């Protein structure tokens, strides 16, 4: 069963194309994380928040990534990291065109 990880945190920028330039190396690193199927990067400049939605193959991989990523973000000076892990209901999600 896949597991979804939702993460958000305060973020001062950069945003948009500049964020892409600055974060490309990090995105490439994340793509090799154990159990990761995909990540959607999120940003809300008006609220000063960024984060992501991740799909992992299993709960242990999602939990390990959340712990590592929280530590990394705090080392970058991010004071608060919100992370939640959810089991995915595959059958209902497929009805609504989830990329599973």
Domain boundaries, the chain: 3-95
Q: What is the pLDDT of residues 60-76, one digit of tens each?
A: 999 999 999 999 999 99
Q: How confident is the model at residue 100 (pLDDT cuts 50, 70, 90)?
A: confident
Structure tokens at 73: 């973000």
Assigned CATH topology for domain 3-95: Alpha-Beta Plaits (3.30.70)
Q: What is the pLDDT of residues 27-55, one digit of tens each?
A: 999 999 999 999 999 999 999 999 999 99
Residue 9 CB contacts under 8 Å (≥ 6 apart), including other chains: 49, 50, 51, 73, 78, 80, 81, 82
Q: What is the pTM of this model?
A: 0.93
What phi and psi, each to the nearest 5 degrees, are found at residue 22? -75, -35
């Amino acid at each position: 069963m896949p597991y979804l990880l939702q993460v958000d945190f305060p973020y001062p920028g950069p945003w948009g194309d500049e964020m892409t330039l600055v974060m490309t190396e990090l995105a490439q690193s994340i793509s090799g994380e154990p159990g990761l199927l995909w990540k959607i990067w999120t940003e809300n400049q008006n609220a000063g928040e960024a984060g992501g939605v991740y799909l992992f193959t299993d709960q242990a991989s999602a939990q390990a990534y959340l712990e590592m990523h929280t530590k990394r973000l705090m080392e970058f000076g991010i004071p608060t990291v919100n992370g939640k892990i959810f089991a995915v209901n595959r059958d209902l999600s497929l009805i609504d065109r989830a990329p599973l």
